Amino acid sequence: MIMTETKSLVYQYPNGKQFRFPDFILNSGEKALISGKSGSGKTTLLHLLAGILRPSSGKIIIEQQALHSLGESGLDRFRSQNTGLIFQQHLFLKSLTMSENLAIARSLAGKEQDNDWKQKLMQALSIEQLQTKKPEQLSQGELQRFSMARALINRPALLLADEPTSSLDDENFEQMIQLLHTLEKLSPFSMLIATHDSRLKNVYQSIVSL
Amino acid sequence: MISRNILLLKLSVANLAAKPFGNLLSILLFAIGIAIISLLMRFDEQAEKQYRGNIAGIDLVAGAKGSPLQLILSAVMHADVPTGNISLSEARLISNHPLIERSIPLALGDNYLGYRIVGTEHAYAALYKADLLEGNWWKKPMEVVLGAEVAKKTQLKTGDSFTGVHGFLDIGHTHDEHPYQVSGILASTGTVVDRLILTSVESVWEVHGYHVHDENCDHDHEETVESALLEEHDELLLNQEELDELGHQEGWLVPVSESEPEITALLLFYRNPAAAITIPRLINANTRMLAASPANELNRLRSMLGYGFDALRILAWMIIIISAMSMLMQLLASLHQSMGEIALLRALGASAKSILLVLISQGLLLGFLGWAMGLLLVRIFANAFTEPVMLLLKYPILPVASEYMLLGLSMLSGLVAALLPATKAYRSNVHQILSR
């Protein structure tokens, strides 16, 4: 079953810079890479898929929903309910605890809190002891685990990750791949990773090369 | 379920708390502006109420020549020293004028612990609807009735004795040989009477050496003064033309002899509105007395004070505008630091409208805190005044009506201060921030 499909996707920045992206199809449960050098448009494509940007032309269809047919609020809702995002930076709300950071992601998706699922996720990522801490009290590795937990808190069908491994050493890289496998067992998802990290090519197939 | 709104509100509060010094300074500035405006509004309201209450229908006051305002402040508000004394015979002439319905004499000169001893008639207390709480009205010289506040503060009770001090300060020559006895205590009226010690005019004369009657005499002195003021009524029952003519004749009034009893002022009540034109002119032009209208003088006082109040009001508004600008700077600085968080919230599904509301709620919160702190400051400040200003400005714990209006103003200031940062946040480029 097709999870994600793009057709003749073009994005033009206000300064005139234009990206034309190749068409691709990502099937359900499939995990693949969007690879390319810095500045090649990987993050732009990922943000188009997330609905953070709107394409200048072309179509994006995720779970049979054409994103261009959604209004602003519909796009916000679709993104929060159907996609999980892992950002380049470990962004969290500094004034909230880690548990509240997970809770707000669920609240913004308009979903009831599911504490059992939250606890399962944190246990799988070995971070349940840290849930009352605030972001500034955690290490980069711990924040990355919470980023993964937050991306999956709404059980999305599609996970979009932007350079998740670029700052990891080999040991932490291996750990992260293991964690993704563990999470996959908890709740199956498709995944697209925008990366220029060649180590990931040994794990996942590149679906788009920019 | 953790409500999205509660989390967003918590986020607003936390963002403000992240910059405590700057935000507190803005709030404090705003609070000072609110406190000054609240104080001025309260003073206006209360002063108006007090003025009207204390004037109590008195049309005119006749006293010694001097400042008319001083005469009113001393004879009506009991807040200044008198301009001097007037002779009883001159007072009689005026009180018996056909255009005067009635008059009440006042004889001042002494105090007890700062509370003025006022020689007068029972009718004076009736002016302020002052009823006895306990005891009886004075029946003979040296008996007094205490105002409610005097009784409370001095702890004097019916039957107690005390001696007055000469003048209006509680330090000075004491009239030890003339003790007063408390015959009754008045219920609180919320007017100037609460702060007075009332007695007969004869008491004041007796203390100051005018013995109009035998000291041992025990007849009703209250009636004596009244009848003294009225005794020439029949002889003076002249028409207006005759009085005017009489008034213009040189030496119309008999000079006051050294030993003649005096009073401090005479409160006059007109028989009809025409008296307002005739009587003040008659007194000022033809007697050694000064006539002053309480309503006119107090309006004049208010307009004089008005300039100072206007300057304070302008200052307060400037403080409020500066503090609103300071809030704006704080919110902008805070926004600059939290752009990443705003982009995160947007990426997680928060609508641009929700972000707008978070920023606006921060502005409203600053405005509300400024208002609340202003109310607290003004209550501390008003209590720091000494009486009677403190009593005039006395605030209840809960906000008064005018302060609810200031709440609206405060929230509006917070809203205006938050509009620019909120608009910036609303238009923030999420993709650009997340790609950095």
CB contact under 8 A, B344 and A112: no
Average pLDDT, chain A: 90
Query: Which chain A residues touch B337 with a CB distance below 8 Å?
Result: none
Query: Which chain B residues touch A81 with a CB distance below 8 Å?
Result: 349
**Taking phi first (over 0 means left), then psi (-120 to 50 degrees means alpha), and beta for anything else, what does residue B348 get?**
alpha
* Cα gap B282→B90, rounded to integer Å: 12
Residue A153 has pLDDT above 90, yes or no: yes
Kindly give, in sequence order, each residue whose CB lies less than 8 Å from that of residue A131, ignoring residues fewer than 6 positions away.
A97, A98, A99, A102, A122
Mutation site for B-interface testing, chosen from A43, A53, A72, A76 by largest number of B Cβ within 10 Å: A76
Rg (CA), chain B: 31
Query: Which chain B residues touch A80 with a CB distance below 8 Å?
Result: 348-349
Of A33, A22, A27, nearest to A193 (Cα)?
A33
* Cα gap B420→B410, rounded to integer Å: 17
* Cα gap A34→A193, rounded to integer Å: 6
- Please, where are the H alpha helices in B144-267? 148-154, 201-207, 221-230, 240-248
Distance from CA of B370 to the nearest CA of A (A): 23
Distance from CA of B13 to the nearest CA of A (A): 9
Residue A138 has pLDDT above 70, yes or no: yes
Distance from CA of A186 to the nearest CA of B (A): 22
Two tokens, residue B364: 């409203």
**Taking phi first (over 0 means left), then psi (-120 to 50 degrees means alpha), and beta for anything else, what does residue A126 get?**
left
Of B208, B211, B236, B235, nearest to B224 (Cα)?
B211
Predicted pLDDT at B175: 75
Nearest by CB to A100, which of B7, B345, B349?
A: B7
CB contact under 8 A, B340 and A89: yes
Q: If 0-12 CB within 10 Å is exposed, 13-18 middle and 19+ buried, where does residue B265 land? A: buried
Q: Number of A:B CB contacts under 8 A?
A: 91
Residue in chain B closest to A54 (alpha carbons) equals B431
More confident residue, B393 or A187: A187
Check if the beta carbon of residue B328 is closer than 8 Å to that of residue B417. Answer: yes
Mutation site for A-interface testing, chosen from B348, B351, B361 by largest number of A Cβ within 10 Å: B348
In angstroms, the Cα distances linking B352 to A93, B217, B358, B412 are 17, 92, 10, 22
Nearest by CB to A108, which of B4, B15, B341?
A: B4
Distance from CA of B358 to the nearest CA of A (A): 13
- ipTM score here? 0.91
More confident residue, A157 or B208: A157
pLDDT in tens, A25-55: 999 889 999 998 888 899 999 999 999 999 9
The amino acid at A93: L
Nearest by CB to A112, which of B1, B10, B430?
A: B1
Predicted pLDDT at B212: 46
Q: What is the mean pLDDT of residues A191-202?
A: 90
Which structural domains are found in chain A, ordered by start?
2-209 (3.40.50.300)
DSSP B168: S
**Taking phi first (over 0 means left), then psi (-120 to 50 degrees means alpha), and beta for anything else, what does residue A167 get?**
alpha
pLDDT by residue, tens only, chain B of 436 residues:
456 677 777 777 877 887 788 888 889 988 998 998 888 888 878 777 777 777 878 999 999 999 999 999 999 988 888 888 898 888 888 888 999 999 999 999 889 998 999 999 999 999 999 999 999 999 989 999 999 999 999 999 999 999 988 877 767 677 778 899 999 999 998 888 999 999 999 998 888 775 544 333 343 434 444 444 444 433 333 444 544 444 333 222 333 345 678 899 999 999 998 899 899 999 999 889 999 999 888 888 878 877 777 888 888 888 888 888 888 888 888 787 788 888 999 999 888 888 888 888 888 998 999 999 999 998 888 877 655 566 566 788 888 888 899 999 899 999 988 888 888 888 888 888 888 7
Interface of B with A (CB under 8 A): 1-4, 7, 10-11, 14-15, 17-18, 340-341, 343-352, 430-431, 434-436
- How many Cβ atoms sit within 10 Å of the Cβ of residue B278? 16
Kindly give, in sequence order, each residue whose CB lies less than 8 Å from that of residue B412, ignoring residues fewer than 6 positions away.
B367
Of A170, A151, A153, nearest to A161 (Cα)?
A151
Whether the link from the prior residue into B388 is cis, omega within 30° of 0, is: yes
Distance from CA of A181 to the nearest CA of B (A): 24
CB contact under 8 A, A77 and B349: yes
Distance from CA of B337 to the nearest CA of A (A): 11
Predicted pLDDT at B387: 59
Nearest by CB to B11, which of A72, A91, A96?
A: A96
